[in-house]
A and B are shown apart, each in its own frame.
Chain A
């Protein structure tokens, strides 16, 4: 039984890898081509919509829950999370968002910042 496992990589592995990359890239390109700038940003906490803000004007919004704080900044039509007291800082390091469907998520605070039409 041990002998037949000796191949490190088989032809089928390469086919699998290429197939996954091609499918993912096609989907990625499709999303890139069909994306459009959003009009509003929707801030949800624990699945419930907390606030919806227009992207047209610059605005700063502080989210404070018993789980922690996040600072959301809207400037020139793009949304960014600039400060957070969560341990992983994933939301703070996230790139800015502006197209419909894009999100910034803070898992520890159950916060979802999402661009909507």
Chain B
């Protein structure tokens, strides 16, 4: 217990010096976060879980998005998400993956920011809303490009899987946010 408090005070003293080298530190952290998000989305692509219905995934990269939303602010979060999507898209995907990912990320970050500002939910609730918003954003792009409303049916399944995946990622994010002080 006393050991934990010691660590706590050390971390607090580090975070209190944050303002002096803010820009450099933020730039470095943003770069590290982009790299981390890229690795997580690559790892996730190695484990296919979307079999019957497309779009089911854990959303590991959202872990980085949520942590950075709480710790680095909205501006850096947008840079991290867009950077990750474009770099991963160029390296492992194609133009269409980039468009779908950007649509999902845009709606997701917007919703998570608004939900976070209300302070009603913890990181878990923010993550659940973000996951469902992400799926919704991608469904909307599919509805527009394919000009077919019936795709909305997928949303029911994706809402369930999104809520579950969002909860898991949210719990993990909550633990990280609580324990990491930068």
Within 8 A of A (CB), among B164-182: 167, 170-171, 174-175, 177-178, 181
Q: Is B7 an interface residue (CB 8 A)?
A: no
A33 at the interface (CB under 8 A from B): no
Chain A interface residue bracket vs B: 35 or more
A100 to B38, CA, bound (A): 40
B90 at the A interface (CB under 8 A): no
A5 and B125 contact, CB distance less than 8 A = no
Instruction: State whether A31 and B151 are in contact (beta carbons under 8 Å apart), knowing that A8-B122, A10-B121, A95-B52 are contacts in the complex.
Output: no
Chain B residues closer than 8 Å to A24, beta-carbon distance = 156, 159-160, 163
Q: Check B153–A101 contact: CB distance below 8 A.
A: yes
Cβ-neighbour of B120 out of A4, A12, A23, A110 (below 8 A): A12
* Interface pick from B22-30, B57-65, B79-87, B140-148: B140-148
Q: Are B52 and A21 in contact (CB under 8 A)?
A: no
Is B21 among interface residues, defined by CB-CB distance under 8 A?
no
Q: Of residues 84 to 102 in A, which have CB atoms within 8 Å of B's CB atoms?
A: 87-88, 90, 93-95, 101-102
Are the C-beta atoms of A25 and B150 separated by less than 8 Å? Answer: no
Q: Distance (Å) between the CB of B76 and the closest chain A CB?
A: 17
Q: How many residues of B contact A (CB 8 A)?
A: 41
Q: List 30 A-B contacts (CB under 8 A).
A: A2-B15, A5-B177, A8-B122, A8-B171, A8-B178, A9-B170, A9-B174, A10-B122, A10-B124, A12-B120, A13-B124, A13-B128, A13-B167, A16-B129, A17-B128, A17-B163, A20-B159, A24-B156, A24-B163, A27-B156, A28-B156, A28-B157, A44-B146, A90-B50, A94-B54, A101-B153, A102-B153, A105-B146, A107-B142, A107-B146
Residues of A within 8 A of B (CB): 2, 4-10, 12-13, 16-17, 20-21, 23-25, 27-28, 31, 44, 46-47, 87-88, 90, 93-95, 101-103, 105, 107-108, 110, 112, 114
